[in-house]
Homo-oligomer: A and B are copies of this chain.
Amino acid sequence: MKSSQTTIKDIARRLNLSVTTISKALRGMPDISAPTRQLILDTAREMEYEPNPIAQSLVRNQTHTIGVIIPSFTIPFYASAISGIQQTASEAGYNIMVCQSNESYETETNYTRVLLNSRVDGLIVSLARETTNFDHFNRLAERSLPLVLFNRVCDAVPASKVVVDDFEGAYQVVRHLIEMGCRRIAHIAGPANLLLSRQRLQGYQQALQESGLPVCEDFIRTGDLTIASGTRITEDFLKLDTSPDAIFAICDSAAFGAMQTLKSRGLRIPDDIALAGFTDEPVAAIVEPALTTVAQPTFEIGQIAAQLFLDQVRGGESYQPTTQVLKTHLVIRASSQKKSRVS
């Protein structure tokens, strides 16, 4: 005996009214008399009626569900960003369905398909590291489905975007390293297909140039944002004839990798070599020495991404994609504060 949920029909039968009347009353349409409406509302509550969103989805052709694709749940940045997305979405009556691409292009396209088949109302996405083809997203635009990119975005897709000012963030932290007396600053870069990699690289270069420091190719190596790439590239740096006196890593993970290598070589941070990252993951404050880094408003990035999504839903065809650029702020910790300079 399956105790199925109360439906609009049950209420209609009980009250000897038509389902239409019930439906209208429940949704507060104006053409139902006050007493009838009250009666229906009371009865619905008494019978513990809950509308079936599946049926509503079928007729309205929208699910109130947002598909979200992120590279990985285990990157703290995304954990926080999802929280922000969910909060804003939830307040607007939307559910989210989150999938992780595991940095794989194939998995990303696959989940794009799965989510669309599940009839989500649109997508909020942060690109996989290896994604360089964007056809699967362009197809969204063709169907005029909302799409918002955040953090890992690219130029090739016409969609609303949420990013931080990567250029400025990188510029500031490298300026800081220079002010601390560093003159040979190396950079662990990220995959060139990601806009943020290029912009952080440019901020780094700009800061060097403005201070009259040379931009040396040997001091720039491209990694894949992982701890492992941080350790590997740092080893390379240390093999150079003149090794760097500071390293600016594209992200905190790479910086942690660098930190491991430096420590294992017996180098003192920051006295022998200073270190800085990007994002300000919670761990950055805990490692030793605590990591100087560029803080991003991770939760807020998620909230804004969701908000842009909702705007797009409401704007309909006339909606014009926008790009929101948020500010970062420099967090100076022990890994960059050379004792020799402390006055």
- Whether B79 and A73, one on each chain, are in contact in the complex, defined by CB atoms closer than 8 angstroms, is yes
A52 partner residues in chain B, CB cutoff 8 A: 58, 119
**Stretch binding the partner chain, chosen from A9-17, A126-134, A280-288:** A280-288
Complex CA gap A53/B2 in Å reads: 22
Q: Restricting to A65-107, which residues have a CB under 8 Å from any CB of B?
A: 65, 72-74, 76, 79-80, 82-83, 86, 90, 95-100
- Whether B54 and A286, one on each chain, are in contact in the complex, defined by CB atoms closer than 8 angstroms, is no
> Is A202 in contact with chain B by the CB < 8 A criterion?
no
Given A3-B143, A80-B74, verify A86-B99 contact (CB < 8 Å): yes
> Is A33 in contact with chain B by the CB < 8 A criterion?
no
Q: Which residue of B lies closest to A99 (CB)?
A: B86
Complex CA gap A52/B63 in Å reads: 12
Complex CA gap A282/B50 in Å reads: 43
Report the minimal beta-carbon distance from A170 to chain B, rounded to whole angstroms: 23
Residue among A4, A61, A73, A86 facing the most chain B CB atoms (10 A cut-off): A73
Complex CA gap A4/B208 in Å reads: 54
Q: Which residue of B lies closest to A96 (CB)?
A: B97
Given B51, B57, B86, which contacts A100 in the complex, CB threshold below 8 Å? B86
Q: Which residue of B lies closest to A53 (CB)?
A: B118
> Is A318 in contact with chain B by the CB < 8 A criterion?
no
Given A54-B54, A54-B58, A95-B118, verify A73-B80 contact (CB < 8 Å): yes
- Whether A100 and B74, one on each chain, are in contact in the complex, defined by CB atoms closer than 8 angstroms, is no
A: number of interface residues (CB 8 Å): 45
A39-63 contact mask (Cβ, 8 Å, vs B): 1 or 0: 0000000000011111101100101
A340 partner residues in chain B, CB cutoff 8 A: none
A55 partner residues in chain B, CB cutoff 8 A: 58
Given A55-B58, A80-B74, A100-B83, verify A256-B118 contact (CB < 8 Å): no
> Is A117 in contact with chain B by the CB < 8 A criterion?
yes
Given B51, B118, B142, B287, which contacts A288 in the complex, CB threshold below 8 Å? B287
19 A-B pairs in the complex with CB atoms less than 8 angstroms apart: A3-B142, A4-B61, A53-B117, A53-B118, A54-B63, A55-B58, A65-B97, A72-B79, A73-B79, A73-B83, A74-B80, A74-B282, A83-B100, A95-B97, A259-B286, A260-B286, A286-B287, A287-B287, A287-B288
